[in-house]
Structure 1
Amino acid sequence: MNICYIADSFVPSRTANSIHVMKMCQAYASLGHRVTLVLPNWYDGIEPGVEDVYAFYGVRPEFTIRKIPIPRWRSSTLYFGVFLPLVALLSRPTLVHTRSLSVAWGMTNLFRISTMFEIHHIPYQNQRQQAFFERVIDSRYLRALITITHALADHVRPLLRKEVRLIVAPDGVDAMWLQQPLSPADARAKLGLSNETRRIAVYTGNLYRGRGVELIIELARHLEDHLFLVVGGQEADVARYREQASELPNLRFVGFVPPAWVPSYLYAADVLLMPHGHTVEAVGGSDISTFTSPIKMFEYMAVGRPIVASTLPVLQEVLQDGINALLIPYDQPLRWVEALKRLQKDVQFASGLGRQVLLDVKQYTWENRAQRLLKQIGCCPREEARQ
């Protein structure tokens, strides 16, 4: 089958959006489908100095990337709803997957191509966008509306016609992480941590408001026998937090690393931290705490280390306290300290959490996600994908 993923993502960049799109394209390609990723050729917002975009994301070059110039006369609706889909049609797609409302509108209403529209938040912010969304869900060319959490599905379900197929599909992780794991010794050697005797606690991701960096700083003050590694973030955020925590020798702000390097830090860890606050800021400043399905949660799970996370209800769709993670309210730092001490002292309990989370994550690979989506809309499964 010929699948075209049309995205408004910045590729290459540091955004979770771009990681998600690249991983899904690889997943479709790994199932045997011909995949084309169509993107705007953005003038800014792109990570500089990236020569191999596939290697940057740690994906195989099994799909084609087409970047389309952005005309100076561009309007959002005209470019994403008409021009970008029109160019994408040159690849003669059987199916389109998109996270762009304008693209979904153009494909279902103008060009009448079978389309899966995926949303990670409320898909409209004003009446005009709401009208576009209603046109999309009213089209018979919409094969499925995909949400990443049950919370988001419950929010949009009252808006849908009965015949709209609503699929809940959380984010995922590379199957390669499960098939070719790194040993802690190899991971630490790769990072220059072979002689480190302290327990290593790792956080990966952006440093936006609500990501829990202040809590990690507090933990470092209480647990001098732990080395805390904070991996990710924009340069300005990293610099600000480095200055704020300059007196803590057991806390390192590593800064941004390419997605392909993230596994080494996770495999080097004894424990992984996901201290989301009551509000979680995304790119652009929007609050995603109600509907988020963090990619890093599944990456954490895939390395089989104990996870300590906050008690956001949406995280509890996947994580279960005392079974495959420890879940603690964000605003109770002393309980976080006690949790890390417990994992340090009770090795059997910590190992049990790691084993269980590794079993649970197997259903959440990107390949399984892609195959499940295709099967639910009646398209060919893996064994029939390529004749």
Structure 2
Amino acid sequence: MRIAYLHAGSIPSVYANGIHVMRMCDAFSAAGHDVTLYALPPSYQAHDPYKYYGVRHRFRIRTVPLPDDTHSSLLARAETVRAILADDVPDLVYGRDPYSVLAAADLAPAVYESHQLWNDAHALEVESRLLSHPALERVVVITHALARDLQAAHDGLGPLPTLIAPDCAEVPVTPHGPTEAPVLPGRSGAVRIGYVGHLYQGRGIELILELAALLPAFDFHLLGGTPKDRAHWEDPCPLTNVYFHGHQPPGAVSAYFPAFDVVIAPYQRKVYTADGIAETGRWASPMKVFEYMAHGRAMIASDLPVLREVLHDRVNCLLRAPDDTHAWLTAIQELMADEALRLALGNTARREVLERYTWRRRADHVLAGDSLIV
């Protein structure tokens, strides 16, 4: 099948949506489909976008710029995308850009993927038109919470053809990942606590620094973050056991996981995207959580309703209240005192990813639409 994936973000970029889109295009390609990704021009310089993201297939990437940052330009870009597709009509239009997917929906069947509710009235109106379009086969969402809220936001349209497909991960050949892990700074023999992800508001960076102050014998490694966000946290940080590694190419991140004894996902009750533009904590399905699981690392995560859709305390992780520093402290201490528990949690988590949460499995699932949930 020939799939046109329509993306409203840049490729490459430093943002998580780019990782998700590239992983899905890679999985569609692995399933034998002919994929072309339409995206904004790069916002991050990388010589080879496929190597940068660590994807295996070199599907086509075609850039379609945005004239300017206005609603009219979003519509204009969508029409440009449609004109390109009209010259070579695909079998399926798939994407997270409601403007472009709507514009192209009269050309081919469409699948729309949503990761949050729009807080912009114009975008919400465009999304509503897309959700009522006869060419829309289904809408893919990442959590049950988002499925419920999306239905409520568009309740006048009747039951939506919703399919729930959580985020996923690439599973390393061995649970310990690449044989050559990067050399990390810090003390030889010190316990290493790892965090991978952006440093935005609501990601729990304050909690990590509190824990580092309470556990001076442990080294804390934070992987990710733009230069601006990294400077915000690192410059005033007096702790000598905290290491900020900054943004790394998504394709290189896998090599770091084997170096961590415990990984943490301290999401707060409100989680914001870049520059605080949107609050998405209610619907989040963090890719980094699935990457932790895929690498068989013992994880401590925030006990939030949306994360409980995937995570289960003392089964595939330890869950702790995001605002209870003492509970996180004792959870780290418990894991480091109980190797059997660390191994059991990590092994269960990795097995669950293999069985349920691989990108290839997700790609097959969203195209088949074999489990619609209204």
Which one of 109, 112, 120 corresponds to residue 114 of structure 1?
109
Q: State the one-letter code of the partner of 1:266.
A: F
Q: Give the partner amino acid of 1:360.
A: E
Measure the CA separation in 1 of the matches of 2:129 and 2:177: 51
Which of 307, 313, 318 does residue 321 from structure 1 map onto? 313
TM-score, structure 1 length as denominator? 0.89
How far apart are 1:79 and its partner, in Å? 2.3
Q: Mapping of 1:1-387 within 5 angstroms?
A: 1-41=1-41, 46-48=43-45, 50-71=46-67, 75-108=72-105, 111-123=106-118, 125-126=120-121, 128-158=122-152, 159=154, 161=157, 164-175=160-171, 177=172, 179-182=173-176, 186-188=179-181, 190-192=182-184, 196-246=188-238, 248-285=239-276, 286-362=278-354, 363-376=356-369
* 2: CA distance, partners of 1:195 / 1:332: 28
What is the deviation of 1:131? 2.9
Secondary structure of the corresponding residue to residue 244 of structure 1: coil
**Aligned partner of 2:78: which letter?**
G
1:93 to 1:124, Cα distance in 2 relative to 1, 3 A: farther
Contact 1:231–1:254 at 8 Å: present in 2 too? Answer: yes
- Distance in 2 (alpha carbons) for counterparts of 1:117 and 1:235: 33
Tell me if structure 1 keeps the 8 A contact 2:177–2:257.
no
Distance 1:315 1:72, change over 3 A: closer
TM-superposition CA deviations, 1:228-284 (whole Å, max 9, x none): 1001111122122222223x2211011111111111111211111101112111124
13-22 or 368-377: which moved more?
Answer: 368-377
Alignment check: 8 A CA contact 1:187 1:268 kept: no
Change (3 A) 1:339 1:39: same
Task: Give 1:251's aligned amino acid.
Answer: V
In structure 2, do the counterparts of structure 1 residues 67 and 311 end up closer, same or farther at CA, with 3 Å as the change threshold?
Answer: same
Q: TM-score under structure 2 normalisation?
A: 0.92
Q: Deviations over 1:121-175 (max 9, x none)?
A: 014521x333322221221100111111000001122435456421001111124
Unaligned runs of 5+ in 1: 379-387
Aligned residues: 366
Rate the CA distance shift 1:245–1:195 in 2: closer, same or farther, 3 A.
closer
- CA change 1:278–1:72 in 2 (3 A) is closer
- Maintained 8 Å contact 2:151/2:159: no
Q: Separation in 2 of the partners of 1:96 and 1:34? A: 12
Query: What residue is the counterpart of 1:383 in the other structure?
Result: none
Corresponding residue for residue 381 of structure 1: none
Q: How far apart are residue 180 of structure 1 and its match?
A: 4.4
| Contact kept? 2:318, 2:331, Cα under 8 Å | yes
Distance in 2 (CA, whole Å) between partners of 1:72 and 1:295 is 30
Specify whether residues 377 and 94 from structure 1 end up closer, same or farther in structure 2 by C-alpha distance, changes over 3 A only.
Answer: farther
Measure how far apart 1:73 and its partner are.
11
Give the Cα–Cα distance (whole angstroms) in 1 for the partners of residues 31 and 188 of structure 2: 41
- Residues 1:269 and 1:191: Cα distance change in structure 2 (over 3 Å): same
Q: Secondary structure at the match of 1:225?
A: coil
Structure 2 gaps of 5+ residues are: none
SS in 2 for 1:7: strand
SS of residue in 1 equivalent to 2:75: helix
1:76-127 CA distance string (max 9 Å, x none) = 343233112221343421001110111122122xx3421100100014521x
1:373 Cα deviation from its structure 2 partner: 1.0
Higher mean C-alpha deviation, range 220-229 or range 301-310: 220-229
Partner of 1:368, secondary structure, is helix
Hey, what does 1:382 align to over in structure 2? none
The CA RMSD over aligned residues, in Å, is 2.1
Shift of residue 8 of structure 1?
1.0
| Aligned residues of 1:24 and 1:370 also touching (Cα < 8 A) | yes
Q: Report the Cα distance in structure 2 between the residues aligned to 1:219 and 1:311, rounded to whole angstroms.
A: 17
Contact kept, 8 Å, 2:185 with 2:243, in 1: the verdict is no
SS of alignment partner, residue 9 of structure 1: strand
Q: Deviations over 1:290-348 (max 9, x none)?
A: 00111101111101011101112111100011111111111111111110000010111
Indicate how the Cα distance of structure 1 residues 193 and 251 shifts in structure 2: closer, same or farther if over 3 A, else same.
closer
Cα distance, 1:83–1:377 mapped onto 2, change above 3 Å: farther
Cα distance in 2, alignment partners of residues 152 and 119 from structure 1: 8
Instruction: Answer whether contact 1:38 1:88 (CA < 8 A) is retained.
Output: no
Equivalents in 1 of 2:40, 2:30: separation in Å? 24
Q: Percent identity?
A: 33
Q: Structure 2 vs 1, CA of residues 106 and 244 (structure 1 numbering), >3 Å: closer, same or farther?
A: same
- Bigger shift: residues 287-296 or 78-87: 78-87
